[in-house]
Amino acid sequence: MNTPSSTAALLVGVATLVASCGPGCRLVQRRDPVPPEVAEARRLCNEGLSAADRSDLVRAEGLLERAVKSCPLDIDARRHYAEVLWKRGERLEAVTQVAEALKISPGDASLCVEGGGMYLDMGLFDDAERLAREAVRVVPGSAEAWHLRGEVSLARGQPTPALADFHRALAIDSDHRGALLDAAEAYRRLNQPQRALSTLAILGETYGPNQTPANVLVMEAHAQEALGRPEDAIDSYRMAIARGEASPDAATRLAALEGDVTTAARPAGTTRQ
């Protein structure tokens, strides 16, 4: 049987626990039902993403547009809608959707990076830099944010500050392929082919055997040429071309190097038959 003193102590304990929860907190949380418009937006969004996975971008766009109209405050719906619009080539509408999403959630670093990347591809460097700086400010530990800021500097022809940002990104994520690739390009522009080649070697280690992309192999070949290693460059160009995705310039450079090597190997005074 409880005594008056023990009952009072129990009431005090309960009161203290309730107060510690703060205003509106319940000891047993009740799950409120999802509003119909939110549920509809989620359903349409999921169907739109499924259509996008099947490469049915027309249907995906229609479904995601309906999702946004059903719940205009749904950030994920706007984000996915922007991604599909971008793939469909509707770039202005895509960045508009990202801008609207950022009005709803201005501190969303991933949205800043996504929108900044779109602006960068459109050549709108000021807007891209604005979003990149905001992303870095909000989440300074984001490798994607630092990479984007470096990309903007590189696109503006400023390899030195770009390289500093790429190094910040790599300090956070040492295997960040985009930052490694762009750092190698910055070294190339700074006429440091050995550093470029070393960076590309690290990048190559992030891929499986015989999986290094053609563009990386072509960059390796360029660096090897700059270092006076034509035989190594020939090997890299050949591997790039074998991938089936190398630019026409790779075949041109390969032919020129093979001709130079053949000429250099021919004894003096002989002519080609």
Q: Tally the domains of the chain.
A: 3
Report the 10 Å Cβ neighbour count for 7.
10
Q: Does the residue 220 lie in any domain?
A: yes
Q: Are 156 and 200 in the same domain?
A: yes
Give the domain-ending residue among 104, 127, 144.
104
Confidence of residue 5 (pLDDT cuts 50, 70, 90): very low
Nearest to 219 by CA among 198, 26, 259: 198
Q: Are 111 and 100 in the same domain?
A: no
Q: Are 131 and 201 in the same domain?
A: yes
The model's pTM: 0.79
**pLDDT value at position 231?**
95
Q: Does the residue 65 lie in any domain?
A: yes
Least confident of 1-5, 45-49, 54-58, 219-223: 1-5
Cβ-proximal residues to 221 (8 Å cutoff; 6+ apart), any chain:
232, 233, 234, 236, 237, 240, 250, 253
Q: Are 163 and 184 in the same domain?
A: yes
Domain that holds residue 194: 107-206
Q: Are 100 and 111 in the same domain?
A: no
Is pLDDT at 188 greater than 80 in this prediction?
yes
Q: Are 132 and 100 in the same domain?
A: no
CATH assignment of the domain containing 160? 1.25.40.10
